[in-house]
Chain A
Amino acid sequence: MRRLSRVRALVAVAFAQLRHERLQTATAVLGVAMAVLAAVLLAGVGIGVVEFGQQKFQQSGQDLWMTGGPTELRPGTVGGFQNSVVDSHDLAASVTERDPVAAAVPLLFQTVYAGRNASEFRTVVGAGSPGGGELVSISEGRGFRGGDVHYAGGSYDGPMTREVIIDRRTADLLDVGVNDTIHLGGTVATARENEFTVIGISPTFSRFVGAPTVVVRQSELQEVTGTTASDRASFVLVRATRGADVSALESDLTETYPQYTVRTNGEQFRATLRDQAVVLLSGASLLVLAVVAGVLLVLNMQLSFVFRHRETLAAVAAMGVSRSSLAAIVLVYALFVGLLGGLLGVGLALPGIELVNAVTVRVTGFENVATLSRRVLLGGFGLAVLVSAVGGLAASAYLARSNPLDTLR
């Protein structure tokens, strides 16, 4: 009973201190809230990106991805992407012949110039699709009908259909719609000479790459970007037949085509994340910095409190009030700051994540990438308590170790 009475009284003293030193308290609460906000938003974006990516890979309807290396931007080259699969049509045809394979299609990404007329161009991502089928979902107009006729068994002398499917952002960017014509090419000169008719609007590839995208048949994209010689592609997508053993197929393809890497959706996604190691490390560093800054802020506030009132605290200790009681006041004060900072940080995270998503849509075209789960919010709140407890404990330990006589002498 006496102990409970003492604890309640010490909490009351800490609360009185909190109310009395309003400016210091408000500053510290705001600092902790910012640390929580940064951590929660980073976690929300990180978890959201992972979930979003996994979802997109699952939604691709493919089972395996064959690549010859990372698909990355390569400045100074026509097309700008490093496409590592060569003789992609032959490779896809060869893979398709296997029993458990329903379909294998090459997929090419190239940066292209696109313009409504022959004088003004914007750079967009060009995706080379093999032709019809369910790879591209259409929201307006129609999809490709028929195959990649221009390929003509590798001679590239078949007729060019000159059909293009664009996404909504490209349509807005170029101010065009279905049945309009646009110029496309790997160089401005090539683009001036090549006109394509918009036959449909599709969100599929822009969701995948997060940039304005145009989709044309693969051989026609190779033709206008000058990459027909090696028949390059970024991936060969493999869809297994219903009920097939995907891991057995993966092993079989790995063995048959040792020059290529074969990955499942999950493995391909993890490989994509690994390619972004610098970005991931930057995110992790920011998270650590947010936590360290929070701890230092609370510690600074508590040590400043101890320093400003050192004589009074020493005098109270001299009267016989135990140093553990004084340390408890400092700790409880810090925890109050942590609780308030945690509540504020979590409260700010809700509109904050909306803001992040709004910016993400404008920059990348991806919608609702960042998500805030209850676990992330609770984690943020827990972080605030942890940060304040560490800061408060360090200041308490300093106070508990100091001798009141050293101050009073």
Chain B
Amino acid sequence: MDGERAVSTEPSESTAVVRGRDLVRRYEWGAAGLFGDDAPPAVRAVDGVSIAIRGGEMVGIAGPSGSGKSTLLHLLAGLDLPTAGTVTLAGTDTADYGERGRARLRLEHVGVVFQRFHLLPALSARANVALPLVELGEPKSRRRERATELLEAVGLGDRVTHRPGRLSGGEQQRVAIARSLATEPDLIVADEPTGELDSETGERVLSALGDVADDRAVVLASHDEQALAVCDRRVPLRDGKRADDERDADGTGG
């Protein structure tokens, strides 16, 4: 993956790393009326979206605040389950797993990058990157080696022992990107990864993400044009629906 990406279409069934089909995520607020006569107020955060992403592809989910970008990202990452529709990740339906199973699925197949970095302040950059490997029970030597390697890959080879408090915002986000790659996932989801950064730093972070993603599928939710510009493909959302629905309604693309 490099900065110059060709415009691509949705992948076929066999080549997709992650696929969402007819996804609906409805949130109900409060409870039904005392006599069941009033249905609780409901919001369809995602409403009938189909999407598929192949390895090596960076897809940008675009849309204004409240359009359902983050919810769609959570569904694709197996963080949340759809009210209707299916998400197939690493060849399995995420709904087939319980809470623990999905956590393990995410650990092995999904890397997550957040807008606010979310690094543990007590740990060094290297220890933060190595944290997901702890869960896999990797030995210390392997964890250190892998974390150092990833930090060097994002240009922070000289900051491995620094705690987050001593790193700039851009550096912290690059540590978070390195952390998302620690378990060598097939899919990376990034929710507004440049939201807390100035444009120049944001550009550098996106460049680092593109450089280290290799053949992994990357889904990036953002309303930042600069961030979306580096993506191979853009999926616009509005009111929980795909704004380009008429082009690719079934998610099989072409």
Please list the residues of chain A having a beta carbon within 8 angstroms of any beta carbon in chain B: 1-3, 5-6, 8-10, 13, 16-17, 19-21, 309, 311-312, 314-323, 325, 404-405, 408-409
Q: Do the beta carbons of A316 and B107 come within 8 Å of each other?
A: no
Could you name 17 residue pairs across A and B whose Cβ atoms are closer than 8 Å?
A2-B136, A5-B138, A6-B134, A8-B140, A9-B134, A9-B140, A13-B122, A13-B127, A315-B112, A320-B107, A320-B135, A322-B103, A325-B134, A404-B79, A405-B74, A405-B79, A408-B114
Q: Do the beta carbons of B119 and A325 come within 8 Å of each other?
A: no
Known: A6-B135, A13-B127. A318 touches B122 (CB 8 A): no
CB-CB under 8 A from B103, the residues of chain A are 317, 320-323
CB-CB under 8 A from A409, the residues of chain B are 70
In the assembled complex, the Cα of A314 lies from the Cα of B116 at a distance in Å of 12
CB-CB under 8 A from A10, the residues of chain B are 134
Residue of B nearest to A13 (CB): B123
Q: Indicate which residue in B100, B116, B118, B121 contacts A316 across the interface (CB closer than 8 Å).
A: B118
Judge if B108 is at the interface, Cβ distance under 8 Å: yes
In the assembled complex, the Cα of A73 lies from the Cα of B170 at a distance in Å of 78
Known: A13-B123, A17-B122. A321 touches B131 (CB 8 A): yes
In the assembled complex, the Cα of A325 lies from the Cα of B100 at a distance in Å of 12
Q: Indicate which residue in A17, A315, A405 contacts B118 across the interface (CB closer than 8 Å).
A: A315
CB-CB under 8 A from B250, the residues of chain A are none
Judge if B143 is at the interface, Cβ distance under 8 Å: yes
Task: Tell me how far the C-beta of A6 lies from the nearest C-beta in chain B, rounded to whole angstroms.
Answer: 5
CB-CB under 8 A from B180, the residues of chain A are 319
Task: Tell me how far the C-beta of A321 lies from the nearest C-beta in chain B, rounded to whole angstroms.
Answer: 5
Known: A311-B116, A319-B112, A405-B80. A19 touches B122 (CB 8 A): yes
Q: Indicate which residue in A1, A19, A320 contacts B106 across the interface (CB closer than 8 Å).
A: A320
Judge if B30 is at the interface, Cβ distance under 8 Å: no
Q: Do the beta carbons of A321 and B79 come within 8 Å of each other?
A: no
Q: Do the beta carbons of A6 and B137 come within 8 Å of each other?
A: yes
In the assembled complex, the Cα of A317 lies from the Cα of B106 at a distance in Å of 10
B108-149 to A contact mask, C-beta < 8 Å, 1/0: 101110101011111100010001101111111001000000
Known: A317-B103, A319-B106, A319-B112. A16 touches B123 (CB 8 A): yes
CB-CB under 8 A from B100, the residues of chain A are 322
Q: Do the beta carbons of B120 and A316 come within 8 Å of each other?
A: yes
In the assembled complex, the Cα of A325 lies from the Cα of B104 at a distance in Å of 12
Judge if B233 is at the interface, Cβ distance under 8 Å: no
CB-CB under 8 A from A6, the residues of chain B are 134-135, 137
Residue of B nearest to A21 (CB): B122
CB-CB under 8 A from B80, the residues of chain A are 405
CB-CB under 8 A from B122, the residues of chain A are 13, 16-17, 19-21
Q: Indicate which residue in A9, A20, A317, A408 contacts B121 across the interface (CB closer than 8 Å).
A: A20
In the assembled complex, the Cα of A318 lies from the Cα of B123 at a distance in Å of 18
Known: A19-B122, A318-B112, A319-B107. A325 touches B135 (CB 8 A): yes
Judge if B179 is at the interface, Cβ distance under 8 Å: yes
CB-CB under 8 A from A323, the residues of chain B are 103
In the assembled complex, the Cα of A321 lies from the Cα of B110 at a distance in Å of 12
Residue of B nearest to A314 (CB): B118
In the assembled complex, the Cα of A322 lies from the Cα of B114 at a distance in Å of 18
CB-CB under 8 A from A3, the residues of chain B are 137
In the assembled complex, the Cα of A46 lies from the Cα of B139 at a distance in Å of 51
Task: Tell me how far the C-beta of A384 lies from the nearest C-beta in chain B, rounded to whole angstroms.
Answer: 23
Q: Do the beta carbons of B137 and A320 come within 8 Å of each other?
A: no
CB-CB under 8 A from B70, the residues of chain A are 409
In the assembled complex, the Cα of A9 lies from the Cα of B114 at a distance in Å of 24
Q: Do the beta carbons of B135 and A322 come within 8 Å of each other?
A: yes
Q: Indicate which residue in A5, A8, A316 contacts B131 across the interface (CB closer than 8 Å).
A: A316
Residue of B nearest to A311 (CB): B118
Q: Indicate which residue in A8, A309, A319 contacts B179 across the interface (CB closer than 8 Å).
A: A319
CB-CB under 8 A from A317, the residues of chain B are 103
Q: Do the beta carbons of B140 and A5 come within 8 Å of each other?
A: yes
Q: Do the beta carbons of B137 and A5 come within 8 Å of each other?
A: yes
Q: Do the beta carbons of B139 and A321 come within 8 Å of each other?
A: no
Q: Indicate which residue in A13, A20, A312, A408 contacts B119 across the interface (CB closer than 8 Å).
A: A312
CB-CB under 8 A from A309, the residues of chain B are 120-121
CB-CB under 8 A from A321, the residues of chain B are 103, 107, 131-132, 134-135
Q: Do the beta carbons of B79 and A318 come within 8 Å of each other?
A: yes
Known: A318-B79, A320-B104, A405-B74. A5 touches B112 (CB 8 A): no
In the assembled complex, the Cα of A318 lies from the Cα of B116 at a distance in Å of 14
CB-CB under 8 A from B132, the residues of chain A are 319-321
In the assembled complex, the Cα of A398 lies from the Cα of B80 at a distance in Å of 20
In the assembled complex, the Cα of A91 lies from the Cα of B107 at a distance in Å of 88
CB-CB under 8 A from A1, the residues of chain B are 137, 139
CB-CB under 8 A from A315, the residues of chain B are 112, 114, 118
Residue of A nearest to B133 (CB): A9
Residue of A nearest to B179 (CB): A319
CB-CB under 8 A from B163, the residues of chain A are 20
CB-CB under 8 A from B114, the residues of chain A are 315, 408
CB-CB under 8 A from B119, the residues of chain A are 312
Q: Do the beta carbons of A312 and B118 come within 8 Å of each other?
A: yes
CB-CB under 8 A from B111, the residues of chain A are 319
Q: Do the beta carbons of A320 and B108 come within 8 Å of each other?
A: yes
Task: Tell me how far the C-beta of B107 lies from the nearest C-beta in chain A, rounded to whole angstroms.
Answer: 3
Residue of B nearest to A308 (CB): B121
Q: Do the beta carbons of B110 and A5 come within 8 Å of each other?
A: no
Known: A319-B112, A319-B132, A320-B104. A2 touches B118 (CB 8 A): no
Residue of A nearest to B119 (CB): A312
Residue of A nearest to B107 (CB): A320
In the assembled complex, the Cα of A5 lies from the Cα of B142 at a distance in Å of 11
In the assembled complex, the Cα of A315 lies from the Cα of B179 at a distance in Å of 12
Residue of A nearest to B70 (CB): A409
Q: A3-B137, A19-B122, A316-B120 are in contact. List 9 more A-B contacts (CB 8 A).
A: A1-B139, A2-B137, A5-B140, A314-B118, A315-B114, A321-B103, A321-B132, A325-B135, A405-B74
